[in-house]
Structure 1
Amino acid sequence: MTEVGIDAIEIRTGKLRLDLPGTFAPAQGEDPGKYTKGLGLNASSFPDSYEDIVTMGANAAHRLMEREGLEPEDVGRIDVATESSFDNSKPVSTYIAGCLEQVYEGKFSHANKGERKFACVAGTQSIDDAYNWIRAGRNRGRSALVIATDTALYARDDPGEATQGAGAVAMLISEDPDLVSLSTEQGYGSADETDFLKPNQQFPAVDGKRSVQVYLARMREALQDFESVADRTHSDDFAYIPFHTPFPGMVRKAALFGYRHMIRDTSIEDDLAEEIGRQPREEAFEDEEEYEDALREYMDGLKETDAYREWYDRIVEPTLTISREVGNWYTGSVHLARASALRTAVEEGRDLTGERLLVGSYGSGAQAEIHAETVQDDWREKIEGMAASLDEQLAGRYDLSYEEYERVHDVHNHAIELDGDIEELTVPDEEFVFEGWGRMGERKYRFVE
């Protein structure tokens, strides 16, 4: 059977940077450690006044196509996943295709275009759609372009404000991929939840405590469902485990639950029994509250063991290095985690060919999806190009003062009409930019040479 998966990846970050411990924390009267240690974040990326989900998505796609030597006729499908769409009818994919047609001679008139919505899991769902399209033989030898693009902004003074971010991840889904192939097996955990939503509003309504609980519950269900159609997972099976990362602190919780599940009834649990005892078994308790108390005590002990800490530092921590510097990208976050892990492997000179990743995606509302990926022969070349581009972008971001941050936030707040000209803090160069509205309220874009 022909392998299908991710052939190439490109990342586009917002061009502005907010220093969380150095700029945001003092303005909020908060301890910087609340952000760096609690949330696990150092900085957030923001879009300049001429950037939005279309420009970031189009710029990521353009760079990917240039790096891969692609023309429009090579792409048979363009899917955009976003939580930040500004039109209830016209999909963002048509805007992005229109941008790309400004710089290529060919057109995307033959390409199927769409927009996916299921909170942050929509990026992975778009990859699934492309995978199925290729497997069904409908692609006619063409690849699919999947773009996850978001401005993950919160209302001012919202508890989630520090986790904000903006950027896009473009991925090429192809037969015989050079980066990773996708497993046929998938696992799902889904339920009707109200943990995070945007009922006809730009900024989210969030039940933070509930959101963490739902995230962990759906991830557990998805892992169990994955194991029902694949092999039982073990903590030593995977080179890395990228999770959806709204902020690294939440991944710490998910990783601990995952590790506990994967070592159950293994020699690792046996070895740890002398130190912290064996895992509580629910059937051994008559009272659910007593079981939950015993489980919490076990988990508290587990996270302090050398075995867990070594595993976490090796398998999970490398997936968080990009997110620490850019914040939450909603639909792109789990794909940043994958890229972060593979970039770390390049930096460490590690050969991942043939090794596997276990990818845990999540979207509020709520659904988790887990699947495995196998690293392909030419992964290093693909990641080196992506990493060089990303490192240049991160180093070149404009550092915001708090007053500038307030202004930029207002620029991207749909409910605020600003007086006078909107100040640009950076100079566009070889990129797509937003340039205003058309006669029907549509957004207009141009490529700046």
Structure 2
Amino acid sequence: MTTVGIEAVEIWTGNLKLDLPGTFAPQKGEDPEKYTKGLGLNASSFPDSYEDIVTMAANAAYRLMDRKGLEPDDVGRIDVATESAFDNSKPVSTYVAGCLEEVFDGDFHHANKGERKFACIAGTQSLDDACNWIRAGRNRGRGALVIATDTALYARGDAGEATQGAGAIAMYITEDPSLVELSIEQGYGSADETDFLKPNQQFPSVDGKRSVQVYLARMREALEDYESVAGDTHPDDFAFIPFHTPFPGMVRKAALLGYRHMTRDTAIEEELAEEIGRQPRAEAFDDDEGFHDALREYMDALKGTDRYQEWYARTIDPTLTISREVGNWYTGSVHVARVSALKHALENGEDVTGEQFIVGSYGSGAQAEIHAETVQDGWKDEIASLNVDEQLEARYELTWEDYEEIHDAHNHEMDVDIEPRTAPDGEFVFDGWGRMGERKYRYVD
């Protein structure tokens, strides 16, 4: 069977930074630890006035293609996942292709292009589409460019405002990949839910408490479905577990739920039983309320055990390092978590070649997907080539007044013209409007 997965990856973060404990918290009159410890966030990335989902996507894709020596003829499809699109007909992928044709010889006239929408899971769905296209033998030796790009902005004063972020991640999908191979086995959990939506509006309507519940419920269903085709999972089987990360605090909840599920009826459960008892079983209770109360007590106790905390520190926490500094990237968040894990392994001298990840993607509305990935022997060179730290360090730090102006500039209902906070250099920029109201772009050397 053809081995298919991610050959190369590149990240492009918005050029601006909002310090959450230092700038955001004082303006809200709140304890900085609400953000650093509660949400698990230190900062958010934002697009400058000349940046948007197209520029960030095109910049990530250009960096990837240039570094890998790719030409347009090497790309048979361009799939863009976003929930920040500004056109209900023309896909972002066509804009991205137009940008790239400014800097490459040749064109993408024979590449299939599309745009995927299913909240934050669309990036993973686009990855699946590209892999299936290659496995079906329809790629003619070419690879697929999959890009997740979003400006995850909330209305001013919204409870989700602190989790904002902006950035793009580009992935090149091929046979015999250098980074990770994707498993054939997948598991899904999906239901018609109203936890987060944008009914023809820019800023989301969110039921925060419900969204957490739906996220966890769909993840549990997806893991059970994955195990039905791949066999039982065990927490020690996976080097890292990247989750969709709206904010790291959400991942803490998902990781605990997953660990409890994977340790049920294992030697780990029996070993922990001496300290916290065995997991409650529904059949031992007269009603659901009693069972769920006991389950919550067990989960609280499990979270405090040394065994769980050591597993979390080794398997989950490394996936959150980048997210803590950039906030939520919607469709890109789980893919940033993958990069964060591999970056951690490289920096700490951990050789994870041949080891497996299990990846938990999620999109509101709602659907979760679980699949496994096997790390390939070219991962070190690929991750070493990234310049994530340099990008994060180079961001312009916003004052509160800057933040208010930038937020207004990206509010589609406001007509605000502001001076950029940074000077573009070697990147695509928004360059005004065309005759039919389309957005125009150009490359700045």
Return the TM-score normalized by structure 2: 1.00
Match of residue 417 from structure 1: 415
Distance 2:120 2:66 in 1: 27
One-letter amino acid of the structure 1 residue matched with residue 296 of structure 2: R
Question: What is the count of residue pairs matched by the alignment?
Answer: 445
Matches within 5 A, 1:1-400: 1-386=1-386, 389-400=387-398
Distance 2:151 2:285 in 1: 46
Once the two structures are TM-superposed, the CA of residue 162 in structure 1 deviates from its matched residue by 0.1
Distance 2:23 2:185 in 1: 45
Q: Residue 171 of structure 1 aligns to a residue in which SS?
A: strand
Distance 2:431 2:378 in 1: 39
Superimposed CA distance per residue, residues 272-323 of structure 1 (whole angstroms, 9 cap, x where no aligned partner): 1011000000111121000000000000100000000000000000000000
Distance 1:423 1:29 in 2: 29
One-letter amino acid of the structure 2 residue matched with residue 430 of structure 1: G
**Contact kept in structure 1, 2:185 and 2:230, CA below 8 Å:** yes
Once the two structures are TM-superposed, the CA of residue 20 in structure 1 deviates from its matched residue by 0.1
Distance 1:362 1:137 in 2: 28
**Contact kept in structure 1, 2:405 and 2:418, CA below 8 Å:** no
Q: Which runs of 5+ in 1 are unaligned?
A: none
Q: Which runs of 5+ in 2 are unaligned?
A: none
Once the two structures are TM-superposed, the CA of residue 392 in structure 1 deviates from its matched residue by 1.0
Superimposed CA distance per residue, residues 122-154 of structure 1 (whole angstroms, 9 cap, x where no aligned partner): 000000000110011000000000000000000
Distance 2:49 2:111 in 1: 30
Residue 444 (str. 1) matches residue 443 (str. 2):
no
Distance 2:326 2:47 in 1: 11
Distance 1:306 1:68 in 2: 43
Superimposed CA distance per residue, residues 41-69 of structure 1 (whole angstroms, 9 cap, x where no aligned partner): 00000000000000000000000001110
Once the two structures are TM-superposed, the CA of residue 342 in structure 1 deviates from its matched residue by 0.2
Match of residue 404 from structure 1: 402
Distance 1:391 1:66 in 2: 19
One-letter amino acid of the structure 1 residue matched with residue 158 of structure 2: D
Distance 2:289 2:420 in 1: 56
Q: Residue 85 of structure 2 aligns to a residue in which SS?
A: coil
Q: Residue 102 of structure 1 aligns to a residue in which SS?
A: helix
Match of residue 433 from structure 1: 429
Identity percentage over the alignment?
78
Distance 2:291 2:2 in 1: 47
Distance 2:432 2:422 in 1: 18
Q: Residue 7 of structure 1 aligns to a residue in which SS?
A: strand
Distance 1:422 1:213 in 2: 40
One-letter amino acid of the structure 1 residue matched with residue 223 of structure 2: L
RMSD: 0.5
Superimposed CA distance per residue, residues 413-434 of structure 1 (whole angstroms, 9 cap, x where no aligned partner): 001112xx42110000010000
**Contact kept in structure 1, 2:354 and 2:377, CA below 8 Å:** yes
One-letter amino acid of the structure 2 residue matched with residue 115 of structure 1: E
Return the TM-score normalized by structure 1: 0.99
Q: Residue 409 of structure 1 aligns to a residue in which SS?
A: helix
Once the two structures are TM-superposed, the CA of residue 231 in structure 1 deviates from its matched residue by 1.7
Q: Residue 8 of structure 1 aligns to a residue in which SS?
A: strand
Distance 1:280 1:121 in 2: 32
